[in-house]
Amino acid sequence: MSLEQLRKGVIAVLLGGNSAEREVSLLSGATVASAFESSGFTVRRVDPADENWLLQLEGVSFAFNALHGPGGEDGVIQGVLAALDIQYTGSGILGSALSMDKIRTKQLWQGIGLPTAGFVKLQADTDWQGVIDRFTKVFVKPACEGSSIGMMSADNAADLQHAFALAKDFQGEVLAEQFIDGPEYTVAVLGGNALPSIRMETDNDFYDYEAKYLSDDTRYHCPSDLSDEEELEVSELALRAFESLDCSVWGRVDMMRDSDGTFYVLEVNTIPGMTSHSLVPMAAEAAGMSISELVQKILELSVEVRS
């Protein structure tokens, strides 16, 4: 199926959904839908939170998945679309499920020798002081959420237990990840290639939800401050991390650099944000690609993968 054939049909843009990232997904989906429409595609916006959303998929040629978080980014919607014989953008069921689970992701990376921050799974009977003694400072994260939702830092046992109590209200398990004191980078992946890296800088304690989507004070450096050799290093690390999880088509790999210059991969996002504050469109623009060209490239690559 070619882009011209798809242009004659209907592209369903999946947006919204029921996860904690619903509002971000609505913005991402609106950006994607507008980009397609400006290029002459017929678009149908489909929100799985609607009662009759499955009926709205009848007659579509392809589905562009702009759903973030559980239900949309974890293999669930991918399985539904596969069962309905509807081709879709991005990673498949396995890659989506693996990358959404930060604990399984990090276990796999440790197994193949990729550098990733140390971590422990938190439970109600965790030795809170023991975790602090081991790591000094940690980030507490729900294992199956994105956009830094439910994430807090802790450097003492009381704060760690409090952070766990908040994070466990979200889907999946909870982990405490070793704090890395250094700059945060992200590398977008598109069709087996790494786009220019971006360094994020915020006055917040870390690059949290507010810094990602709400603040106008977050600074983005693209191209980042890396040398050519370092840029090659993070590009190769991002591609290894991405491919190790059976991810495909497009995504984003987040990493941090510690004081001795070592890069550590944090997580892979298989459906990154496409809002006005989002990083993949920024990296694509640095590579000379407009948002309309980006969504069409994602569509084209997805057709190749699903064919």
Catalytic-residue membership of 267: yes
* Sign of the alpha-carbon dihedral angle for 167, 170, 173, 179: negative
Q: What is the tens place of the pLDDT at every residue in 114-129?
A: 999 999 999 999 999 9
**Residue 146 confidence class, pLDDT cut points 50, 70, 90:** low
Catalytic-residue membership of 213: yes
Identified catalytic residue from 16, 146, 172, 273: 273
Q: Which domains does the chain have, with CATH numbers?
A: 3-90 (3.40.50.20), 118-178 (3.30.1490.20), 184-306 (3.30.470.20)
Identified catalytic residue from 47, 73, 145, 267: 267
Q: What is the tens place of the pLDDT at every residue in 52-74?
A: 999 999 999 999 999 999 999 99
Identified catalytic residue from 73, 145, 177, 254: 254
Identified catalytic residue from 185, 209, 213, 264: 213
Catalytic-residue membership of 21: yes
Identified catalytic residue from 16, 17, 19, 21: 21
Catalytic-residue membership of 79: no
What is the predicted pLDDT for the residue at 206?
A: 53
- Relative to beta strand 10-14, strand 62-65 is parallel
Measured distance CA(132)–CA(122) in Å, rounded = 12
Higher pLDDT among residues 256 and 2, named by residue: 256
* Sign of the alpha-carbon dihedral angle for 55, 59, 65, 71: positive
Name which of 131, 126, 120, 123 is nearest 175 in CA terms: 120
Catalytic-residue membership of 181: no
Measured distance CA(6)–CA(292) in Å, rounded = 15
**Residue 145 confidence class, pLDDT cut points 50, 70, 90:** confident
Higher pLDDT among residues 194 and 210, named by residue: 194
Give the predicted TM-score (pTM) of the model: 0.91
Catalytic-residue membership of 273: yes
